[in-house]
Amino acid sequence: MTATDTLPEAAAAPRKAGQYVYAASVALLCAWVIVPLYLLLINTLSSPETVNSFPKSFIPEFDLGSLQFFAGFEGMLVALKNSVVVAAMTMVLSITIGAPAGYALSRFDFRGKELFRLLILLTRAFPLPLLALPLAVLFIRTGLDDTAFGLALVHTTLAIPFAVLITFSLFSGIPVELEEAAWTLGCTRYTAFTKVVLPLILPGITASAIFAFVISWNEVFAAAVLTIENRTLTAFLLQTLGEAPLHLKFAGGFILVVPALIFIFAVRKYLFAMWGIANR
Amino acid sequence: MTLRLNLAGAVSGLAVLCTGVAAQAEVLFWSTQARPVEEAQAMRENVLAGFADGVDYQPNEEGPWLTRLQAEIQAGSGSIGVLGALEGNFAAIDPETLVDLDELGVKSTSDTYNSLAMLGTDSMQFLPWMQASYIMAANKEALQYLPEGADIDALTYDQLIEWAANVHEGVGQPKFGFPAGPKGLKHRFFQGYLYPSFTNGVVRTFASPEAVTAWQKFLELWEHTNPASTNFSFMQEQLLSGDAWIVFDHTSRLAQAFNDRPDDFVAFPAPAGPTGRGFMPVLAGIAIPSTAPDMDAAKELVKYLMQPETQIATLRATNFFPVVEAELPDDMPPSVKAAGAAVAKMSASPDANPGMLPSGLGEKSGDFSRIYVDTFERIVLAGQPIEQVLEDQKKQLMAIMEETGAPCWAPDAPSDGACPVE
Amino acid sequence: MSPRILPYLLILPVTLFLCLFFLYPFALVAQQAFSNGAGFTLDNFRDVVTYWKFPISLQNTLLLAAAVVPVQLALALLMATMVSRMERGRDLVLYVWTIPLGISDLAAGIIWLAIFEQSGFLNSMMTGLGLVDQPVNLLSYQNPGMVFLAIALAEIWRATAIMLVIIVAGIGLIPKEYYEAAEVFGASPWKRFLRITLPLLRPSLQTALILRVVLAFEVFAVVAALGGTLFPVLMGEIYAYQFDLQNGRAAAALALIVLAISIAFTLVILRVLRVPKGATI
């Protein structure tokens, strides 16, 4: 930003062309993300006949029939609430459990560190549907079965690698000298952490919290197996999305996507507030 | 540290709140059938609403369905009251874990179904619940291309191939549609239709010269088949979108096309080959796991489902036909009328060659079907030589038959002991 | 607190948690892979590996990861650097780019199938523009390249945001002073990117790559939606063993093979992008 002012006049023209290319590529990348979603919206707002017709129109016709079908479902709101509760618990659990480990990985050399990292990764590299059977047996025996908390525990297992590894890379990005400086200025390890390090990585923590939320929100298999009365939205009506008639498939997909988008939108401020910090 | 403790407290508090909400009065009906949301909704509102104690109808894909069931059985307690699934799903479950249902005194009208339901024991492990079959359907636009002299209700495989070829030539695109997608029921076409029609068998004749002919014919048909068929699992979608004009599929997977646009499509029997018009039923059953929390309510629900009125309501909801005596009213949905007529014509045809569902395979029924799917993928998609593939797959088929000791079923000639692959 | 005990104390909660909810069920499942009901055996592995589809699905999985992950990395880096020099609308652009984070693979499969299927949006557009006379069948077995491309595009669309967020967070921690100093010395933007951003971003790059590669071996829903039966991948085979064939032992054996591959790749990435203790700035 400051550099442009000091540049000689002659360089301004290519600079300008560069600006256009830059703006165009930003717009292109935005379109790349949004257009498929827009197409989903079109199909969601189309009557069953239009969804099956060819060629497809690129303008939605605002037929709310498919959405109304889902609105007529009993228990949608309860399921929505369950989904939110489970996702929120997953978020809190994965951060409180995961972040300390991320800190330990970035700041200390200890025996078994590599083994520990591999353990963390193993959880993501082994398919959950295979683990669901022993987990469900365990849960039924301990009474965790069919509780939002029980499901949140499983979702936390899925989210923890993200929490640990993201916080690890964030802590690694903060110079250890910064903390050491704080110690020499009279902080204990604990206060140095809370006063110096924590504010710096708070936005990054939000990022991994978002991961946790979204992972839990979109998880179908464990939710279908482990919840009966307290089922989540995905388990309640969207797990068999693949087999619904086309128009309902699209509407269902849309219903699944929207709350997650709203959530990301709501927390985007925290996610990207780090720019302010870095610019200080 | 205090912050973390507070959070942990909050979390466990929430957990307590959430467990408190559950009400345990309803019978949990855990089903792999009527999964598509509209069918599930119809089951809840039009079929099960009439049951006094209340039913929590939860359809699931087979993965979660089975996992949950196994977990409850292993844990020795559970919440599932009644199970609904295809006959094949039950075959893979240990009969010990299902409650004997003889004492209910209800049965289907078909003795074959009732004996299948015993799962090799001497009492009913599940009750036949509802039935369907596979038929053909076509867009009326395709009818003009029917070969000269062909009767749509008595087609042969040769005529079908010719018809598909005419359409291909006429519109410039292959318009035959076959459910070869990941969730498509292609294996049933080979087991119940192609093999019986060409070889009068399924297992014995697996690698016979007639089987080679059957696969050659199928390859001819495949030339006029929409190549996107490997993505098709519910042919009603392609009928409606026009991607396919002539299709084969499960009656309930064609229903939406007839219900949405009843005037645009026709349903007709499967074609006939040298050894008759092979076809096969689909049977779904209901059972009670030994871990059901409220055994009496579960048994009541099973009885309720077997009543003729409930069976007719189920037919409207799912397009699966009753297995008990039930007088069908006149106002059935178009899909039911079309499919019902086609199935009736198919079974009444002079060259009918009805096959049975594979039985006695137990937990190997999945492997059994995989043999046929693999054969299809290797011959048709990978273009491997027919004889060699059949010889190769034959060994695995033999291994399965020997391991399970399953005797032959129709149309294969009966066997003493395990059904031999000749 | 002693610095020797502290790290163990910090990783204790995760370790306990994972032991209970991951290692315990994992051990039960993994044990199955080596058993035939009676005793120890390697038969399950042999069965799984000798199945004719195994080499195909292994190859497909690796090819897909090899095609998708580098593109995603490049794209995420490009997006992140673009965002970092943006003055207005940064929040909005970043939000838009992170949207796919919230989209499950199930929904992504549905969306992209609507685009690529024969009566889908892409064909509608091509016929509308007069590029083709009638809809082309894009996802057929005669067109394996196209099927692969469609799957790769859908995966790139769906999963780039994961890397983007991690990398954006990492770039945010690089002090602006480094760039200002570099500019004073006349370093070109490209040079600044190579000499400052990339090296200082190493921890984030490592994390992003590891997570992405591990997840790339788990692709299933999108592939099944677009590729149907044409593009078997390892994860699909695992599900087929577990649920269609109800052969838990074979499923466990195959899952262990996938796990081993994931670990091998992880170790390679860890080695190549090693992060020194406390990082260097």
Average pLDDT, 10 consecutive residues per value, chain A (280 residues) = 44 74 91 93 88 82 85 81 93 92 88 86 86 92 91 94 85 82 87 83 79 88 88 78 79 86 79 44
Record: contact C229-B377, CB cut-off 8 A? yes
DSSP-derived pairing of the beta strands B176-177 and B246-250: parallel
- DSSP assigned state of B257: H
Positive or negative, the CA dihedral C231, C236, C237, C243 is negative
Neighbour subunits, A (≥3 Cβ pairs < 8 A): B, C
pLDDT tens, per residue, chain B with 422 residues: 344 444 444 444 444 444 434 445 789 999 999 888 888 889 999 999 999 889 999 998 888 999 999 999 999 988 999 999 998 889 888 899 999 999 998 888 888 899 889 988 889 999 999 999 999 999 999 999 999 999 999 999 999 999 999 999 999 999 999 999 888 899 999 999 999 999 999 999 999 999 999 999 999 999 999 988 988 989 999 999 899 999 999 998 999 999 999 999 999 999 999 999 999 999 999 999 999 999 999 999 999 999 999 999 999 999 999 999 988 888 899 999 999 999 999 989 999 998 888 888 888 888 999 999 999 999 998 899 999 999 999 999 999 999 988 899 889 998 888 999 98
Cβ contact (<8 Å) for B38 and A244? yes
Residue A151 main-chain phi, psi, to 5 deg: -65, -40
Residue of B nearest to C140 (CA): B228
Q: Please give the residue of chain C at the shortest CA–CA distance from B375.
A: C52
Mutation site for A-interface testing, chosen from C165, C192, C266 by largest number of A Cβ within 10 Å: C165
ipTM of the assembly? Answer: 0.86
Write out residues 253-282 of B within 8 Å (CB-CB) of A. 256, 260
Distance from CA of A11 to the nearest CA of B (A): 54
Give A135's contacts (C-beta < 8 A, 6+ positions apart): A154, A222, A226, C21, C25
Judging contacts by C-beta atoms under 8 Å, the chain C residues touching residue A134 are 24-25, 28-29
Helices (H), B78-156: 87-91, 111-116
When pLDDT is cut at 50, 70 and 90, the band that residue C276 belongs to is low
Same fold, B25-131+282-333 and B133-281+351-404: yes
A96 and chain B in contact, CB less than 8 A? yes
Q: State the number of CA atoms in the 13 A half-sphere of B214 facing the CB.
A: 32
Contact yes or no for A36 and C259 at CB 8 A:
no
Structural element, H or E, at residue B255: helix B255-260
Quick one: closest CA in A to C221, which residue?
A: A242
- Gap between the Cα atoms of C262 and C255, Å rounded: 10
Q: Which residues pair with A90 in a beta bridge?
A: none
> Which residue ranges make up each domain of chain C?
20-272
A-C contacts (CB, under 8 Å) = 303
pLDDT of residue C131: 86
Alpha-carbon B364 to chain mean position? 17
Q: Is B296 helix (H, G, I), strand (E, B) or coil?
A: helix
- 8 Å CB contact between A102 and A173: no
Task: Give the A window 185-244 contacts with C, CB below 8 Å.
Answer: 189, 200, 203-204, 207, 210-211, 214, 217-218, 220, 234, 238, 241-242
Indicate yes or no: CB of C11 within 8 angstroms of CB of A260: no
CATH of region C20-272: 1.10.3720.10
Residue A134 to chain C, least CA–CA distance (Å) = 5
What's the gap in Å between the CA of B103 and the closest CA on chain C?
31
For A226-255, give one letter per residue: b (16+ CB within 10 A) or e: bbbbbbbbbbbbbbbbbbbbbbbbbbbbbb
Nearest to A93 among B11, B35, B64 (CB): B11
Is C228 within 8 Å of chain B by CB?
yes
Quick one: A61 exposed, middle or buried, by C-beta within 10 A (0-12, 13-18, 19+)?
A: exposed
Distance from CA of B156 to the nearest CA of A (A): 31
Helix pair angle (C53-84, C202-216), 10° resolution: 150
Query: Are the beta carbons of B359 and B192 closer than 8 angstroms?
Result: no
| 3-state SS track over C145-184 | HHHHHHHHHHHHHHHHHHHHHHHHHHHHCCCHHHHHHHHH
Distance, CA of B277 to chain centre: 19
Identify all chain B residues contacting A141, using CB atoms and an 8 Å cutoff. 75
Largest CA distance in chain C: 75
**For the domain bounded by A75-239, which CATH number is listed?**
1.10.3720.10
| CB-CB under 8 Å, C101 with A52 | no
Residues of chain A with CATH 1.10.3720.10: 75-239
Determine the CATH number of domain B133-281+351-404.
Answer: 3.40.190.10
- pLDDT tens per residue, range A29-75: 999 999 999 999 999 998 888 888 878 888 888 888 888 888 877 77
**Domain-wise residue ranges, chain B:** 25-131+282-333, 133-281+351-404
Tokens describing residue B294: 């409220």
Measure in Å the smallest separation between the Cα of C137 and chain A Cα atoms. 13
With a pLDDT cut of 90, the percent of chain C lying above it is 39
**Contact assignment for A243 to B40 by CB distance below 8 Å:** no
Between positions 204 and 243 of B, the ones with CB within 8 A of A are 233-234, 236-237, 240-242
Find the distance separating the first CA and the last CA of chain A, reported in whole Å.
Answer: 15
Looking at the complex, does the CB of residue A97 fall below 8 Å from at least one CB of chain C? Answer: yes
β-strand partners of B265: B139
User: Predicted confidence band at C77 (pLDDT cuts at 50, 70, 90)?
Assistant: very high
Higher pLDDT, C170 or B75: B75
Q: Distance (Å) from the C-alpha of residue B270 to the closest C-alpha of chain A?
A: 24
C-beta atoms of C266 and A22 within 8 A: no
Element at B135 (helix H, strand E): strand B127-139
What is the chain A residue with the closest CA to B80?
Answer: A228
Return the residue in A4, A6, A66, A126 with the most chain C beta carbons within 10 A, the one to mutate for interface testing: A126
C-alpha to C-alpha distances, A263 to A95, A211, A267, A269, C231, nearest whole angstrom: 17, 11, 6, 11, 34
Q: For position C105, what pLDDT does the model report?
A: 84
The per-residue pLDDT for range A210-232, each reduced to its tens digit, is 889 988 988 888 998 998 888 88
CA distance B205 to chain A (A): 34
Nearest beta carbon to residue B11 from set A48, A89, A245: A89
> Is B25-131+282-333 a domain of CATH 2.60.40.10?
no
Residue pair C241/C251 in contact (Cβ under 8 Å)? The answer is yes
Residues B126 and B102: their CA atoms lie apart, in Å, by 9
Mean pLDDT check: name the lowest of B15-29, B224-238, C42-56, C221-235.
B15-29
Q: Please list the helix, strand and coil fractions of chain B in percent, rounded to the nearest 5, in that order.
A: 50, 15, 35
CA atoms within 13 A on the CB side of A73: 24
**Helix A198-218 and helix C105-116: axis angle, to 10°?**
70
Nearest-by-Cβ selection for A30 from C96, C115, C281: C96
Instruction: Tell me the shortest Cα–Cα distance from A85 to chain C, in angstroms.
Output: 17
